[in-house]
Amino acid sequence: MIESEKSTRLYRRLLTYVWPHKGIFFFSVLGFGMFASSAPMLAHLMGVVEKTLDAPTEENIWYVVLAMVGVYFYRGIGTFLGKYFTARVGREVVHALRTQLFSRMLRLPSVYYDRESTGRLISRVIFDVEQVNGASTKAVTVVVQEGLTVILLMGYLVWLDYTLTGIFLVVVPIIGLLVSQASRFFKRYSRRIQKSMGQVTQVTNEAIRGYREVRTYGATESEESRFNAASEDNRKQVMKFALTDAINVPLSQQVIALGLGVMVFLMFQRVQSGNMNSAEFLQFITAAALIAKPMRALTDINSIIQKGLTAAASIFEVMDADSEKDVGQVDAGRTRGNVEYYQTRFRYDGASVDAVDGISLNVPSGTSVAFVGKSGSGKTTLVNLLPRFYEAGGGEVRIDGRNIRDFTLNSLRDQIAIVSQQVTLFNASIKDNIAYGSLNGSTQEQVEVAAKAAHAHDFIMALPKGYDTEVGENGLMMSGGQRQRIAIARAILKDAPILILDEATSALDTESERHIQAALEGVMKGRTTLVIAHRLSTIEQADQIVVVDAGRIAEKGSHSELMALNGLYTQLHQMQFSEAL
């Protein structure tokens, strides 16, 4: 009962996406009504045909021919109206769901992405939305069209002989029971299909994005094996769904056929006793035969509805997820960039210890601080608290002495530019990638000034289309150093008072690193800079170096001060120096 109420609420919510297009949907319903009303017309016409056979006058023959052509013309108009306008409503629903779902995904907090696979999220936008379209429009099409056909044919049968029709109606509860039982299996297998489809998408996405690694490390066969396993699981779940559907449909048809058989037997009895003439017999048997197809369609549609409802539950789960909390009321304007961590704590969901454990640190405006430490020590997490990608679980993070939670998210993030090792570029021109997002109103001159400061202008102008050159998916048309300099140009153009450099010079060749180091020195001037670095040689000139260990500050000072301590920083420095040798 609870499951049924949940499905009803879900379907009502789904239909709210159809309601804004009720004007268009009216024409589709009108078309369905025309199609449905043609069925009893055709049944009645069979009686006229039988009478014409008894008296085939020219007038009667023309009447039958014109009536038949007219009915099918009328039916054709109904079919066009129903199918075309339903398709329009369907695509409007898909568009609305996709755009709302995508919009919601862009506003989900980082912790949501931490626990959800990329493949499953993509699958929701592509696969699940199409399944919902089946339940919201295709199912409604069948229910309205075939439902009206059944009702009108039933009404015609009652008008012809209500006692025979009553016998046929006995099969309806049996069909309802079969549909109800099948629904349970449809829901179960629909959920499994969604999960397996998400896995197929995930494996495909990873293998295509990492095709260089796949080939370099001889992982072609292992990736094929992963994909085959995911696809095989999807195939099994789809076949279980298909098996249930294949059993449910013929069972329902058999019940309908049984009811029709009893009716036909009794009709022949009445013809024998003289209580029914041949014209009435033809009309009744034609109407009864015509009713079988729409009733079968109504039982078929159950599988589409259950798929759609399962997909809708998955989509609305994302839509109902909490967006990033923006409790701030203050517009930060342009800050001086003084950053302070005060007894700051943070723990990931499900973790047993804090990733950031009571850190206090002051970074005066215009100075630089470098965070170093072993992988997993908490330095990246600490920096990610500043733009509120994660919310501090204790203590405060402050800018210019004010808790960053007081600022609106947009105005807070306006204060920060980020350059990371994993540069994200979009499949657009170089200019569009530099003047990205809120920077898209920048002039060509401003973009070029930023590119020159990032040591990127020369290589950009050497390209065939210059700043209009498309960079390819995630900048694959560019080298690592070129991508990095484009990202630095983007940060320079933003001109934010705070700069975050997340291993921005890692894994680059010497030539590229020299260009980028020079570009970074320029962009760091006058800005508060937080650097996460593994290569210690790049941060020796930082105003402060903070050694983070197990979420706490182990050591703090300048390069020379830390080397004099002969502690953890010295060990890390000597280790890297010996590796370099």
Section 543-559 average pLDDT? 90
Q: How far is CA 188 from CA 12, 181, 201, 240, 304, in A?
A: 21, 12, 21, 10, 13
Chain-centre distance of CA 64, in angstroms?
55
d(CA 411, CA 265): 80
Higher pLDDT, 343 or 267: 343
Section 557-561 average pLDDT? 88
Query: What pLDDT, on a 0 to 100 scale, did the predictor assign at position 385?
Result: 92
Helix (H, G, I), strand (E, B) or coil at 555: strand
pLDDT at position 512 over 70: no
Helix (H, G, I), strand (E, B) or coil at 277: coil
Q: How far is CA 547 from CA 380, 419, 440, 527, in A?
A: 12, 21, 38, 22
The percent of residues above 70 in pLDDT, for the chain, comes to 82
DSSP string, 485-533: HHHHHHHHHHT-SEEEEESTTTT--HHHHHHHHHHHHHHHTTSEEEEE-
pLDDT at position 377 over 80: yes
pLDDT at position 62 over 70: yes
What pairing do the DSSP bridges indicate for beta strands 368-372 and 544-549?
parallel
Section 332-340 average pLDDT? 91
Higher pLDDT, 65 or 285: 65
Helix (H, G, I), strand (E, B) or coil at 545: strand
d(CA 157, CA 172): 15
The pLDDT confidence band at residue 415, using thresholds 50, 70 and 90, is: very high
Secondary structure, 3-state, 306-326: HHHHHHHHHHHHHHCCCCCCC
d(CA 182, CA 245): 8
Query: What pLDDT, on a 0 to 100 scale, did the predictor assign at position 146?
Result: 78
For the beta carbon of residue 140, count every other beta carbon within 10 angstroms.
25
The pLDDT confidence band at residue 215, using thresholds 50, 70 and 90, is: low
Cβ atoms of 344 and 382 within 8 Å: the answer is yes
Section 358-373 average pLDDT? 91
From 162, 148, 159, 169, select the one nearest 47 (Cα to Cα): 159
What are φ and ψ of residue 532, in 5° steps? -105, 120
For the beta carbon of residue 571, count every other beta carbon within 10 angstroms.
11
Query: What pLDDT, on a 0 to 100 scale, did the predictor assign at position 144?
Result: 80
DSSP string, 376-438: TSSHHHHHHTTTTSS--SEEEEEETTEEGGGB-HHHHHTTEEEEESS----SSBHHHHHS-GG
The string of pLDDT tens digits covering residues 472-491 is 776 777 777 888 888 888 88
Which of the residue ranges 167-181, 310-324, 552-566 would you say has the lowest mean pLDDT?
167-181
Section 96-124 average pLDDT? 81
What pairing do the DSSP bridges indicate for beta strands 394-399 and 339-346?
antiparallel
Length of the chain: 581
d(CA 135, CA 303): 9
Query: What pLDDT, on a 0 to 100 scale, did the predictor assign at position 314?
Result: 82
Chain-centre distance of CA 266, in angstroms?
56
What are φ and ψ of residue 382, in 5° steps? -60, -45
Query: What pLDDT, on a 0 to 100 scale, did the predictor assign at position 468?
Result: 92
pLDDT at position 570 over 60: yes
d(CA 445, CA 434): 12
Domains of the chain: residue spans and CATH: 2-319 (1.20.1560.10), 330-414+544-581 (3.40.50.300)
The percent of residues above 90 in pLDDT, for the chain, comes to 12
From 564, 571, 563, 572, select the one nearest 535 (Cα to Cα): 572
Which of the residue ranges 17-21, 358-362, 507-511 would you say has the lowest mean pLDDT?
507-511
d(CA 245, CA 175): 14
DSSP string, 103-136: HHHHTS-HHHHHHS-HHHHHHIIIIIHHHHHIII
Question: Hey, what are 76's tokens?
Answer: 């054709």
In the sheet that holds 402-403, the strands lie side by side as 356-363, 339-346, 394-399, 402-403
From 351, 349, 416, select the one nearest 388 (Cα to Cα): 416
Chain-centre distance of CA 401, in angstroms?
40
Section 139-164 average pLDDT? 77
For the beta carbon of residue 141, count every other beta carbon within 10 angstroms.
23
pTM of this structure: 0.72
Query: What pLDDT, on a 0 to 100 scale, did the predictor assign at position 52?
Result: 75
From 515, 534, 528, select the one nearest 580 (Cα to Cα): 534
The string of pLDDT tens digits covering residues 256-299 is 666 666 766 777 777 777 777 777 777 777 777 777 677 767 76
Chain-centre distance of CA 115, in angstroms?
15
Cβ atoms of 387 and 416 within 8 Å: the answer is yes
The pLDDT confidence band at residue 507, using thresholds 50, 70 and 90, is: very low
CA atoms lying within 13 Å on the CB side of residue 178:
22
Question: Hey, what are 355's tokens?
Answer: 């990733």
Cβ atoms of 290 and 118 within 8 Å: the answer is no
From 12, 259, 17, 297, select the one nearest 142 (Cα to Cα): 297
Residue at token pair 């060990």 = 571
Sequence-ordered list of residues with C-beta below 8 angstroms from that of 470, at least 6 positions apart, any chain: 427, 428, 429, 477
The string of pLDDT tens digits covering residues 83-100 is 888 888 888 888 888 888
d(CA 400, CA 421): 28
Query: What pLDDT, on a 0 to 100 scale, did the predictor assign at position 395?
Result: 92
